[in-house]
Amino acid sequence: MRNHLQVIFLPTNKCNVNCEYCFEDKTDDRMTHDQLTSVITKLLDFMDGAHIGSLMLHWQGGEIMTMPVEWFEKAFDIIEKLADERGKRIDHGLQTNMIAYHPRWNDIIKKMFGNSVGTSMDYPNLYRKLFKGGPDDYTKVWMRNVQAAREAGIGVGVIAVTNQRTLELGAEAFYSYFVDELGITNFQVNTPFPGGEDNTTKEDIALENDGLARFFNELTDIWIKRGYGKGINLSPVDQIVARFSNEPNSLPCIWQSNCADEFIAIDARGFVAQCDCWVTSYPEYFFGNIFESDSLADLLAKSPARKAFLDRPLAIIDKDCIECDFLSMCHGGCPVRTYTYKKTLNEKDPFCSFYKQLFRHTESVAVGLLGNRSLGSRHPNVSPELVTALVAANG
* Residue 389 pLDDT > 70: no
Amino acid present at 92: H
Please say whether the beta carbons of 100 and 66 come within 8 A: yes
Tell me the DSSP string of 92-119. Answer: EEEB--STT--GGGHHHHHHHSTTEEEE
Q: Is the pTM of this model over 0.95?
A: no
pLDDT of residue 319: 78
pLDDT of residue 20: 87
pLDDT of residue 220: 98
Amino acid present at 220: T
* Residue 280 pLDDT > 70: yes
User: 386 or 12: which carries more pLDDT confidence?
Assistant: 12
Mean residue pLDDT of the chain comes to: 91
* Residue 309 pLDDT > 80: yes
Average pLDDT over residues 348-367: 95
* Residue 331 pLDDT > 90: yes
* Residue 144 pLDDT > 60: yes
pLDDT of residue 40: 99
Return the domain boundaries, the chain: 4-301
- Cα 265 from Cα 124, distance rounded (Å): 30
Total count of residues recorded for the chain: 395
Average pLDDT over residues 280-289: 96
pLDDT tens, 149-175? 999 999 999 999 999 999 999 999 999
What are the percentages of helix, strand and coil residues in the chain, rounded to 5?
50, 15, 35
Name the range with the highest mean pLDDT among 24-28, 217-221, 378-382.
217-221
pLDDT tens, 170-220? 999 999 999 999 999 999 999 887 666 766 665 666 689 999 999 999 999
Report in angstroms the alpha-carbon separations of 88 from 7, 35, 36, 224, 300: 15, 20, 17, 40, 21
204-210's contacts with Cβ under 8 Å and 24+ in sequence apart are 204/163, 204/164, 205/21, 205/127, 205/163, 205/164, 207/162, 207/163, 207/164, 207/167, 209/351, 209/352, 209/353, 209/354, 209/357, 210/353, 210/354, 210/357
pLDDT of residue 318: 78
pLDDT tens, 82-100? 999 999 999 999 999 999 9
Question: Is domain 4-301 in CATH 3.10.129.10, yes or no?
Answer: no
Choose the weakest-confidence range: 14-23, 51-60, 104-113.
14-23
Q: Is 121 strand, coil or helix?
A: coil
pLDDT of residue 3: 81
Please say whether the beta carbons of 224 and 365 come within 8 A: yes
- Cα 263 from Cα 203, distance rounded (Å): 29
* Residue 118 pLDDT > 90: yes
